[in-house]
Structure 1
Amino acid sequence: MAWRRGHRATLRVVRTSRLWLCGVALAAVLGGCATPPPQVPLPAAGSAPSAARARSPVSVAPPVVVLDPGHNGRNSRNLAAINRQVPDGRGGTKACNTTGTQTDAGYPEHAFNFDVASRVAQQLTAAGVRVVMTRTDDDGVGPCVDERGRAGDSAGAAAIVSIHADGAPARGAGFHVAYSDPPLNPAQEAPAHELSVALRDAMRSAGFVDSNYIGRDGLSPRSDLAGLNLATRPTALVECANMRNPAEAALVSSPEGRARYASALAQGVLAYLHRPG
């Protein structure tokens, strides 16, 4: 009897194996055996989330920088509009905007400002910065200086850089960085000064010299610039060169020169954004 029971068990194993082999063969004929997905054990009720879920990356918004190319291409044809009085940030008023200066050969400051700002924007964007421009072309009027001064606050900017060139007597040369002084709010205190120093140092590192006719050590504290006075974010204005100086006029008029200015300004902004603390 024991032998028969063992024999029947063996036959059952053989039949089961044959059925399994037949299933494999049939699956092969029909196109192969699908492998069932592995079972993932479900977490017990009330258990803590997995470590992988707990460490999910949190997206961080890029810093915002406002670039303010001074003046505009049609200001000179709309004098009534740009002479309109607007708040100057210290209880007075001043003209909405001005036409800007130009080289003796006629290259206009507004074109230089916009070209350099566009180049800076490209470099900052490539470095992961979100750039906002106070004007997006060189064929308009304004905006007024009070609007430019408030642009950083509406954009939530970490820094605002206004880009200009000067029109001083021909013997004057060099750049200077202006900031609001005396400060009217906390952003105009240490942060604006730190931004100005970062821009000053980057300009020096690029081979540009401090102004020999205004300011000191490349810095120029100012109380008369509405765009700086009305700022509630760290703001600086860079006068890149004297367009009436022959050597600097040649530099600002060349694409290579404008590329040098733009690279220096972009490096200054990045140095400020990445400063310790």
Structure 2
Amino acid sequence: MPHHVRKPLVRTAVAVACALVAGCGATAEPDAKPAGRDASKPAASPSVRPVRPVTPVTPSAGAPLAGRTIVIDPGHNPGNFRHTAEINQKVDIGTNRKECDTTGTATADDYTEAAFTLDVSHRLRDLLKAQGATVVLTHDADRPYGPCIDERARIGNEAKADAVVSVHADGSAAGNRGFHVILPARVQSGAADTAPILAPSRTLGERIAAHFARATGTSPANYIGSGTGLDIRDDLGGLNLSTVPKVFLECGNMRDPKDAALLANAAWRQKAAHGIAEGIGTYLKG
């Protein structure tokens, strides 16, 4: 779940081709919580579910993504809950100042968002490397906490990434189901100027939404994005400070029992990674 407080005036949805894609049927930062989400998320300790071991990857024949750089941003950090003072320090996000990071949310049985995002990010990294891409992770649980949201944006900028995807899961109320992709709003304030990345970020988000729906069999969120699976935000530092195409993906709602069962399932997480990889690939290949 990204680190944010939602601003209702910027919850603008955009059209997406997802409705035309087979399989978009019903489901079978630091950024603080937006209004309407579960404000009582637990600051749980990391889940006992192990992160999937990373295995060597051999680029496939043709390497269709050779020469491309992709940054994957696993939301939150398993160690954040032990460093609340540090992650509560505020940083500049262009439009205002917000906390460095948050702990993220968790399922009812304490499968944490940080564990989920890292697992999906590892799977996604493997798939993209197999296609020849250069892949950079903003972190790999190799630091005590963070990185802060402004540093996460800098990592993508300094890598001159062709695409950046920040992987998250939401913490909304039970009954709120489905995924959504967060796109940058037009922001020109202080260090933030999103004008150059608006169009490519929208295209990246649309491609990921369509392929994620098809790969996972899940639907766009029934509570955000007016059914399109796309939402525009101006309160996320990771988007405001980006100079390269970037989106956030909320893969599902960890506080809904049915979504939580999917998110905790390793086979489903592999499908999620495939959907994201396919969306990125079609975006980069035009």
TM-score, structure 1 as length reference: 0.75
1:208 to partner: Cα distance: 1.8
When you count helix as a share of all residues, which structure comes out higher? 1
Once residues 179 and 204 of structure 2 are traced to their aligned partners in structure 1, the CA distance between those partners, rounded to angstroms, is 15
Does 1:260 find its partner at 2:271? Answer: yes
- The DSSP-based 3-state class of the residue aligned with 2:94 is coil
1:12: which partner in 2? none
Aligned partners of 2:80 and 2:103 also within 8 Å: yes
Higher RCO (CA-CA < 8 Å; seq separation 6+)? 2
Task: Tell me the equivalent position of 1:164.
Answer: 168
Task: Say which SS state the counterpart of residue 142 (structure 1) adopts.
Answer: coil
Matched, 1:228 2:239: yes
Cα deviation for residue 166 of structure 1 reads: 0.2
Q: 1:135 aligns with which of 128, 139, 154?
A: 139
Q: In 2, Cα distance between the equivalents of 1:163 and 1:123?
A: 15
Q: How many residues align?
A: 215
2:209 aligned with 1:211: no
- State the partner residue of 1:269: 280
Q: 1:89 aligns to what?
A: 94
Q: Gapped runs of 5+ residues in structure 1?
A: 1-59
Higher Cα Rg: structure 1 or 2? 1
Root-mean-square deviation over aligned CA pairs: 1.4
Q: Say which SS state the counterpart of residue 236 (structure 1) adopts.
A: strand
- 2:200 aligned partner, one-letter code: P
Correspondent of 2:196 among 187, 193, 196: 187
Deviation string for 1:203-228 (max 9, x for gaps)? 12222200001123000000111101
In structure 2, distance between residues paired with 1:139 and 1:259: 25
Tell me the TM-score normalized by structure 2: 0.73
- Contact residue 174 and residue 208 of structure 1 kept, 8 A: yes
> Secondary structure at 1:137's aligned position in 2?
coil
Cα deviation, 1:2-46, whole Å, max 9, x if unaligned, reads xxxxxxxxxxxxxxxxxxxxxxxxxxxxxxxxxxxxxxxxxxxxx
Out of 117, 120, 124, the position equivalent to 1:120 is 124
> Which letter does structure 2 place at the counterpart of 1:105?
D
Q: CA contact under 8 A between 2:100 and 2:148: conserved in structure 1?
A: yes
CA contact (8 A) 2:157 2:243 kept: yes
Aligned to 2:69: 64
Task: Show CA shifts across 1:243-273 (max 9, x none).
Answer: 0111110111111111111111111111111
For the pair 1:105 / 2:116, whether they are aligned, the reply is no
Unaligned regions of 5+ residues in structure 2, if any? Answer: 1-64, 188-192
- Per-residue CA shift, 1:40-89, capped at 9, x if unaligned? xxxxxxxxxxxxxxxxxxxx961000000000011011001000000112
